[in-house]
Amino acid sequence: MQSFQSDGVEIAYLDAGAGDPILLVHGFASNTTVNWVDTGWVRYLTGNGFRVVSIDNRGHGRSQKLYGLDDYGAPMMAEDARRLLDHLGLARADVMGYSMGARIAAFLALAHPGRVRSCIFGGLGINMVRGMAGTGPIANALEADSIDQVTNPTARTFRAFAEQTGSDLKALAACIRSSRAPLAAEDLGRLACPVLVAVGSEDVVGGSAAGLAALIPGAEALAIAGRDHMKAVGDRRYKEGVLEFLRRRP
C-alpha cells in the first residue's frame, strides 16, 4: 500500500496491474485487503487486463483515523477518491463500490461525471435511496467497552466485523454518526455512465438490485442468487457478471 495527502488527510491506496483503470471503494468497517484482496477481486481483475486502484477510505484500513462528525460523509469521501485519481494522473476510470463504497461511488459519478467511465454498485440496491435505519445502535455498539454489552443483533454483527477487520472502533462510530447526505431517485436518474447494480438475492441490507437499476437510465441489475450482504462480496457469479459488463460497456 502507498499513501498520499487528500486535503490534509493521509489516504492509503493500492495500485496494481496494467490496462484500463478501475477504482475500487470498500464498504463500512472494511478495507482494501478485506474487501478486495482477500476475496480475490484484485487478482481476478489484474489477471483480466485491468489496472486496479483501491482506496482505504478515511477512518478505515491504513488511512488516517479521524474522530469528528464533520470528518466524514459520502460526498467528502468521494472527493478523496477523486483526489486519488488526480494523484495518479488518471483522467477517468471505471468505479466499483461495495455497500457504503457504492454510495461513495454514486456521489463521485454525480459530482464528477467526466471522471467515471462506468459505475458498479455492489451490495447496495434500492436501499441506496431509502437510507439506512438504526445507525445509532451500531454507533453505540462500536463505542461499547465490550461486544458482550451489545444485545442488538444487527449492531452486534457490525461490532464483530469491525473487530475482525482490526478497525478503529471510535473512528467508525464517528463515521456512521456523521451527516448522511441524501441521494434521491431523481439524483440517480441523472447518472449518464453505464451502471451495473449487483446485490445478493438474500441481501436485506442492500435491498433489491432491480429496484435501484429501475431508477437509473439504461442500468443493468445482477441478483447474485442465494447470497446475502456478506457472502456476495467474493462470489464467482458477481465477478463474472462484472467482467462481462466491463468488456461490453462503451
Residues 142, 219: contact at Cβ < 8 Å? Answer: no
How far is residue 238's CA from residue 224's CA, in Å, rounded to a whole number?
6
Confidence class of residue 173 from pLDDT cuts 50, 70 and 90?
very high
Domains of the chain by residue range:
2-129+183-248
State yes or no: pLDDT of 38 exceeds 70.
yes
For the whole prediction, is pTM greater than 0.75? yes
State yes or no: pLDDT of 101 exceeds 90.
yes
Single out the residue of 98, 91, 109 nearest to residue 25, CA to CA.
98
Confidence class of residue 79 from pLDDT cuts 50, 70 and 90?
very high
Residues 3-25: b if buried by 16+ CB within 10 A, e if exposed: eeebeebebbbbeebeeebbbbb
How far is residue 102's CA from residue 161's CA, in Å, rounded to a whole number?
19
Q: If you count them, how many residues does the chain have?
A: 250
Residues 52, 20: contact at Cβ < 8 Å? Answer: no
Confidence class of residue 131 from pLDDT cuts 50, 70 and 90?
low
Classify domain 2-129+183-248 by CATH architecture.
3-Layer(aba) Sandwich (3.40)
Half-sphere exposure of residue 5: CA atoms within 13 angstroms, side-chain side:
2
Residue range 136-160: mean pLDDT, rounded: 93
